[in-house]
Amino acid sequence: MSSTSPDDLLDLALGATDGSARHRLRRQRARVVDASQAAHEAIFDVALPGLAIDERLEAAWVVAQASGCEALARHYREALAAVASSSGAAQAAGAVAAAGHGAAGRARREALLGFARTLAERPQEAGRDRLLALPAAGIDVDAVVTLAQLIGLVAFQVRGVAGLAAMSDALQVPAATPEAAPGAPFVHPAHLPPPGEPVRVAGFTSEPLDWKAWLPVLPFAQATDYQRAVLEASHPTASSSDYYLTLVRQPRILEQRSAAFNAIMYAPGGLSRAERELASTATSRINGCVYCAAVHALRFEQLAGRNDIIVQVFEDPESAGTTPRERAIVQASVALTRDPGRFGPGHLAAARQAGLSDIEILDMIHAIAIFAWANRLMLNLGEPVRADGSRAESAR
């Protein structure tokens, strides 16, 4: 898929025609464009078994609608209608019709759409019981992984559309002086953990955690050559990770999701690595993802050499930030994570006032959006555990 494709979904949702300001803005990170579109195409491939295309499109429509993104909701609604009316989709439509009759079909649809809606609106609340209701309703494990990736992808798309639209609109007007935000509470160094010691605040931590899957993982010995290659490209420890050994059940989707993640978090230039980790930590804090918050808080500390802002984010993200620049990043992360449907140029005013460049704001939006995806996978396919095997769960 070329980054100049006229069929790129986010371009369509944004009205980003070739050569337009929004089109040029997105191409500053062309690898993100390519990988996110390739993930979309993998998830909505008609030939993908397990979930009929109707089921996938309806779930995507539910997520987009619940998230307040009318452009994407309209796209998925129209795609669903087109599939239903197309003679070329008779086989897929027939599969849904067969599944949709009777108590078993109703239970399947209710479990699928209930899971999608909960993850869209309240990702921390789905949990193990709702996840395991999917196999109980006749959705096999590979299809459950497809559904989880689909919901994460659409959550990413929603925040990408909202953030990019707000950014391109903000570029059309002079930066305004933002309203004064309440000051972050001062954290005296004496009250901070010493260097190398983990932060533990409000149920969140920067200590290293493990993650345990709720679904059966794919044993590495049973992986195909393609699955092994995808694992190797995804993460250095993926071959022994429950997380990746769950997601590699759908290797094409994982391959593109990993490509998008790596392009967002590790691309040279633009927003500093530490500030990308800060946006990721703030997003994970808002979503209640203890595992992601721990991983990326620790990475921020390693890169920045300090943990004062991490304590503030864990205690009260609404007021966190030791500088105007940090506060702007955290506040944008909070707003875009919580209510993408209401995110607008005003939410980026502080970032512009603090001196973030266009490419830095683009990187910030991408970091927030990719953790809308990552958090939903981590929160609802398994749970974080400490070194002693005990659950690491936040206060709810």
- Summarised one tens digit per residue, pLDDT across range 315-340 is 999 999 999 999 999 999 999 999 99
Q: Is the pLDDT of residue 173 over 50?
A: no
Q: Is the pLDDT of residue 278 over 80?
A: yes
Residue 385: its H or E element: strand 382-385
Going by DSSP bridges, is the β-strand pair 382-385/210-213 parallel, antiparallel, or unpaired?
Answer: antiparallel
Rounded CA-CA distance 316/12 in Å is 37
The amino acid that residue 253 corresponds to is I
Give the pair of three-digit tokens for residue 39.
Answer: 């993930």
The pTM of the full predicted model, rounded to 2 decimals, is 0.90
pLDDT at 338: 97
Read off φ and ψ for residue 200, nearest 5 degrees: -135, 105
Ranges 50-54, 100-104, 320-324: which has the least confidence: 100-104
List of domains in the chain:
9-168 (1.20.1290), 187-385 (1.20.1290.10)
pLDDT at 51: 97
pLDDT at 179: 41
**Average pLDDT estimate for 238-263:** 98
Q: Is the pLDDT of residue 43 over 60?
A: yes
Burial of residue 358 (CB within 10 Å: 0-12, 13-18, 19+) is: middle
Q: Is the pLDDT of residue 5 over 90?
A: no
Rounded CA-CA distance 370/205 in Å is 21
- The one-character DSSP state at 87 is G
In three-state secondary structure terms, 313 is helix
Q: Is the pLDDT of residue 78 over 80?
A: yes
pLDDT at 176: 42
pLDDT at 218: 97
339 vs 87, higher pLDDT: 339
Q: Give the max Cα distance, the chain.
A: 70
In three-state secondary structure terms, 115 is helix
Q: Is the pLDDT of residue 213 over 70?
A: yes
